[in-house]
Amino acid sequence: METTTYAIIKTGGKQYRVAPGQKIRVEKIEKIAGEDISFDVLFVKDGDKTQTGKPVVAGASVTGQVVRQFRDRKQLVFKKRSKKGYKKLQGHRQNLTEVLIKSVAAA
C-alpha cells in the first residue's frame, strides 16, 4: 500500500484536499506572486497516522507559494420569466489565486 501525505484546508469559505507539489485555484488572497502563505488545517493524513481538528489541528501546517493572480473565464447568468417578456443576461468573472502547495506537516 502506498503511503500518502495530504491535508484538508479551509480558505475562502471552501475546503480543499491538498498534497505537496499540487497547484490549487482558490478565491482571491491578497498576496503578491512569489509570497508564501499558510492555511488553516482541518485534517491531516501522514502515512497511517491521521489527525482531525476541532475545528483546526493544533501544530499542523500547510504552506504554499502564490503562483499568480488571475480572473477565471466568464460565467453567464441568464434569467427568464416565461410568458412575461422578461429576460436578463449578466456575466461574472471570479478573481482567483493559484497556489503551489510546498509542504504538509502533521503536528
The total of structural domains in the chain comes to 1
What is the pTM assigned to this prediction? 0.84
Q: Are 63 and 71 in contact (CB under 8 A)?
A: no
Return the pLDDT at 2. 52
Domain with 74, as residue range(s), is: 5-105
In tens, the pLDDT along 3-28 reads 589 999 999 999 999 999 999 999 99
Q: Does the pLDDT of residue 44 top 80, yes or no?
A: yes
Label residue 49 exposed, middle or buried (CB < 10 Å: 0-12, 13-18, 19+).
Answer: exposed
